[in-house]
Amino acid sequence: MCLPGQPPAAPATAADAVAMAQASLAFLAKADIASLPSAVQADCLRGLGRLESLQTAARAGVLAAFMAGGGCEDDGQGSARAWLRWQTRVTNGAAAGAVGWVRRLAAHPAVGDALAAGDISPSWAREICGWTGRLPADKRADADAILLAAAAGGADLADLAGLAEEMQRRCAQPDSDGGDDGFADRWLRLDLTLHGAGRVDGDLTPQCAAALRAVLEALGKKAGPEDVRTKGQRDHDALEEACRRLAGAGCLPDRAGQSMQIQLHMTLDQLRGLDGAGNAEAAWAARGPAAGPGSECDASVVPVVSGHVDPAALDRLAAALLGSGDAQRSPCGPRSPMAARVRRLLLRHAAEVLSGPAGLAAFLRTGLLDGGAASISLPLDTGKPTEQIPAHLRRLVIARDRHCAFPGCRQRPAACQVHHIRRRKDGGSTSLKNLILLCAFHHLIAVHRWGWAVTLNADGTVTAISPDGQRTLHSHSPPARAA
């Protein structure tokens, strides 16, 4: 505490600084501001504006250090934006905005210094970064300094915009076919609000904007004199109609997140030497599929039986049919016309016996295997792609989990994959109790690469344990259904 008239004590630690800032703002939030004179209220507003600038700079600095140190990974999150959504309970747009300030101030350090000094508001700082960010890289620092000096000298935002436009004109490069068309700065964000409503924001390339405009113009026309929708409402309905037609045309994948297809190659010799599917699975796992860890959890699998022609074996078989003993030393050896005809007959009829839906390869594959062994050669038989997760189970998992089930993650089912909690090669079943919905990051990276363990509890909650066992995260139970 400090006496009246004395400056406030300086904080000794970062925690002290945050606590003092919270206490100061809590005092103002609860104070009887209405009883104060207008001049005092004005001073408060100006001071709070400076505090907003300081808070923006401080948060960007702390978040930059947090990201550089991999702090979000300690909580099992793949990005700072996901961590902020979870731990600070902000919307996706707010989290993206915080991360955006980190990148913005890293590229414009002078603007960061002005914010930290309270000399410029966050909104003006963002405009300046946007203007100078379009200039060549070697001109940006000088442009930032000029605009900040102009702002400190009393220039308003319109004056700064005019000055930035003049800078862009003087720094403009000659036109060329390879010029910047906004492709590097393209982005689109869909934020979901209460009751599933959404808000779209973004920067489109000219090509994307032209395509979207064509769609809106084609589907957003007035339907007749009774159509009293506004232009904005018709554009909204046109976009919805375009998406509905695209989905109805079957042009979208109907498997939530299933984009992986694995081809299992096995030789006919391996098939013939196996007693059952267990040995085939072990042989395949020993060599490894041609896909990343976890990809086999939720993928369609195409079995391919392959083989090759063994000239020595073909010679021995031809010699046996000709009754000539060793085909290499016989007058009817491999170079004789008779032996050549026998070899052609053997190859032709062997292909008919071994390949095709009723051939030996298909019979052995379908009768013995759940998996296969990796060996790429001449294909003799290819099976129909088989989904590892049946459609009815996929729908049940989505209906139960509704989003990525990893604690703190809210990725929607379209961005998720179905994960076997206990791996199939370890005896895990493809059943509802052994399946869980995980986004691509938590499935392929957090679980299969980093080693996080997830458990589906009987009450529907999920527990995630870090690889070192030092961190345990819990989700919340699904909300109770209305009676």
| pLDDT of the residue at 247 | 72
Whole domain around residue 9: which residue ranges?
Answer: 1-26
Residues 300 and 371 in one domain: yes
Is there a domain that residue 178 lies in?
A: no
Q: How many domains does the chain have?
A: 5
Does residue 402 share a domain with residue 370?
Answer: no
- Residue 373 pLDDT: 32
Q: Which residue has the higher pLDDT, 326 or 43?
A: 43
pLDDT band at 424 (very low <50, low <70, confident <90, very high): confident
Give percent of the chain with pLDDT exceeding 90: 30
**What integer is the mean pLDDT of 406-431?**
85
Q: Lowest-confidence range among 91-100, 237-246, 282-291?
A: 282-291
**Alpha helix stretches (DSSP H) within 323-390:** 337-354, 360-368
Least confident segment among 368-377, 386-395, 469-478: 368-377
How do beta strands 453-456 and 472-474 pair? Answer: unpaired
Question: In terms of domains, do 166 and 70 share one?
Answer: yes
Residue 176 falls within a domain, yes or no?
Answer: no
Per-residue model confidence (pLDDT) at position 41: 93
pLDDT tens by residue, 38-61: 999 999 999 999 999 999 999 999
Does the pLDDT at position 414 exceed 90? no
- pTM of the predicted structure, to 2 decimals: 0.59
Residue 359: pLDDT band with limits 50, 70, 90? low
Enumerate the β-bridge partners of residue 435.
Answer: 420
Higher pLDDT, 354 or 160: 160
The terminus-to-terminus CA distance of the chain in angstroms comes to 54
- 279 vs 147 pLDDT, higher one: 147
Check residue 429 and give its pLDDT: 86
* Angle ∠(149,154,157) on CA atoms, nearest 5: 85
Mean pLDDT of 20-48: 93
Of 343, 363, 386, the domain-final residue: 386
Identify the top-confidence range among 2-6, 198-202, 266-270. 198-202
pLDDT, residue 459, reads: 83
**Band of the pLDDT at 248, cuts 50, 70, 90?**
low
pLDDT tens column, 397-408: 998 898 899 998
pLDDT at 299: 57
- Eight-state DSSP code of residue 402: -
Which pLDDT band, with edges at 50, 70 and 90, does 221 fall under?
confident
Domain match, 34 and 136 both: yes
* Position 351 in a domain: yes
Return left, alpha or beta for 372; rule: phi > 0 is left, psi -120 to 50 is alpha, else beta.
Answer: beta
6 shares its domain with 65: no
Please indicate, yes or no, if residue 187 is contained in any of the structural domains: no
460: pLDDT strictly greater than 60: yes
pLDDT for res 380: 47
pLDDT value at residue 377: 39
Average pLDDT over residues 234-249: 82
Residue type at position 414: A
The tokens describing 140, both together, are: 């940006």
**153 and 49 belong to one structural domain:** yes
Q: State the pLDDT at residue 150.
A: 94
Mean pLDDT of 198-222: 86
Class of residue 294 by CB neighbours under 10 A (exposed 0-12, middle 13-18, buried 19+): buried
Instruction: Map residue 460 onto helix, strand or coil.
Output: coil
Same domain assignment for residues 155 and 46? yes
Residues 123 and 208 in one domain: no
Helices (H) and strands (E) in the chain, counts: 18, 11
Band the pLDDT of 196: cuts 50, 70, 90: confident
153 — pLDDT class (breaks 50, 70, 90): very high
Query: In this structure, are 166 and 35 located in the same domain?
Result: yes
Could you tell me if 76 and 86 lie in one domain?
yes
What distance in Å separates the CA atoms of residue 398 and residue 299, rounded to the nearest whole number? 16
How far, in Å, are 56, 106, 107, 167, 376 from residue 112 at the CA level? 9, 8, 9, 21, 57
Residues 304 and 421 in one domain: no
Tell me, what's the pLDDT at 252? 65
Give the residue carrying structure tokens 């020595």: 312
Would 205 be classed as within a structural domain?
yes
Residue 183 domain-assigned? Answer: no
- What percent of the chain has a predicted confidence (pLDDT) above 70? 66
Q: Would you state the pLDDT for residue 372? A: 36
Per-residue pLDDT, 104: 93
My answer on whether 42 and 146 are in the same domain is yes
Is 192 inside any structural domain?
Answer: no
Kindly state whether residue 429 falls inside one of the protein's structural domains: yes
Average pLDDT, rounded, for the chain: 77
